[in-house]
Structure 1
Amino acid sequence: MLREVWAGATAAVAVAAYVFPYLYLPGVWWRAIPSTCVILFVGAMFYGRETLTFFGVKLSSRELAVSVGLFFILLPACWYLIFSVVVVEPVSAHLNAYPPAQIHQFFQVLNDEIVLRAALLTLLLRAFPYPKTVIILTAALFSVGHHLLYGLNGVDIEWPAMVSLFSFGAIANALFVRYRHIGYGLALHYAWNFYRFNSTYSLDGRVLSEGMTFNVIEGNAWVAVGSSMALVLVFVGYWHVEQTSEQSKRSELA
C-alpha cells in the first residue's frame, strides 16, 4: 500500500514539473530544463537504478549513434518539407535565428518523450499488456489533446492536422515499444520541431498563432498523407518483426 501511495505521489510531482513551465514560464528559453531535472530526480527516488530504463533514456553506444545519425538525416528532410513543400504562397515563413530557443526545444521534446512516451507507455503496458492497442490509443490521445488544448484558445485544429498528429504519435510509440528507448522517437520529434517551432508563419501577411499553424503545416495534404503512409510502413514492419519473433519462439519450443 505504501509503495502505491509513493508511486502516486512521485507521478503527481513529475506531471506537475512537466506542466509547470507551460503555465508559469511562457517565453523563458530555459523553462523546460528545471522540469527535466525534477522529473529525473523524483523518478530516481522511486525507481533507483531502473530510472534510466523507465524513462527510456538507457541506450547502448550503437543505439545512441543511430539516434544521432537519424536526427541529422531527418533534419534537412524536415527543413525541405516545411519550407519547400508546405510553406508556399499565400503562406510565408521567417526563421528565427535565436540559438537559446533550440535549447528550449530540445528539453521540451525530451520532457515530452520521457513523460508522455516512455513513462506513460511503460505504465500502461504493465497494466494492459496489449502493445498495438496501447500504441493506437495513446496516439489518439496525443492528437485529441492538441485539439482540446488549442481549442481553449479558440483555435479549431482540423482533421487533416489531427491525422498527422496521430500518425506522428503512433510512429514514435511503435518505435518505443519495439526498442524500449526514446532515442529514435526523440530524433524524429526534435528534427521536426527544430525548424517547425522556431519560425514565424504568416498567411496573406497576417501572422498566425501557434495553434493556427497546425492547420497550415500538419494539416497540409502532403504532410497528412505522407505521415499516414509512413505509419502504415512502420506498422507493417512492426507486425513482421512480431511475427518473426513468435515463429522463432515456437521453433525453439518445438
Structure 2
Amino acid sequence: MRVVAAGDHFVLPSLITRAVEHEVGRAEVRELRLGWPLEPFGPVAEVQEASDAEDEMIEALSGAQVLVTQMGPVTERVLAACPDLKLVVVCRGGPVNVNLDAAKRRDVRVCFAPGRNAAATAEFTVAMMLAALRRIPQAHDPLARQGSWEGATYYTYEQSGLELEDLSVGLVGYGAVGSRVARVLCAFGARVMVYDPYVHGEIHGLRVTSLDELLRRSQVITLHAR
C-alpha cells in the first residue's frame, strides 16, 4: 500500500507518517509538505480552503492508493490524474478541500475528523474569557513597561475584573466544542447555561428553552454554533 502524507507547517508530514505506521504497521509513505500557514489557503479550482498545490499533489500521488492531508487540494483535476487513489483522509473537521462529487464518481472514499480541534478550541475559548474578565492584557502592560505593578490602577475595584466562579455564562451550541467549554467552566464554578435545541440528554449546566432567555440571564455569552 502506498500512502501520501500531505501535511504542512502545522500538521507535519512526519506526524501523519507516524500515525499511519502506528495504525497499519510499516507502509510505503511519501511525504509532501504544503505551505500553510506560512502561505495562505483559499479556493483552488472548485474546492475551498486548500493550498494552491495541484501539480505537487498529482506528482506525489503517482501510484498511491491512500492520501492523508489537511490542506491538499483534491480537485477534479487531481482525481482524474490519480486513477490508483482509493481513499482520501482529511485530518480536519470537514472535507472542504475535496471535490466530493468527483470522488464519488471515481469510487474514492473520503473520511474526515469532526471535532479534531475541539479540545484546542475549547481551551482557547476559556483562555480568552479569563483574559477579558481578569484584564490580563492590561495587567501585563505595567509589568512590561516598568517591571512591577507598583502604583498601577490594576488594583482598584473598577480595574480588577470579574471572577469566573459564580459568573453566569451562556453557551449557544453544545457540540464537540461547546460541551468541552461547559465542562471546563463548571470546574471553575461558573453558573453555566446552555441553549441548543438539537441536543438532548444530560449536559453540564442548566438547559434553557430559548435564546432570548439565555441572552437575558447571562453575563458572558460564548457561541459554538455553525
TM-score, normalisation: structure 2: 0.28
TM-score, normalisation: structure 1: 0.26
Larger RCO of the pair (alpha carbons < 8 Å, separation 6+): 1
Structure with the higher fraction of residues in strand conformation:
2
Structure with the higher fraction of residues in helix conformation:
1
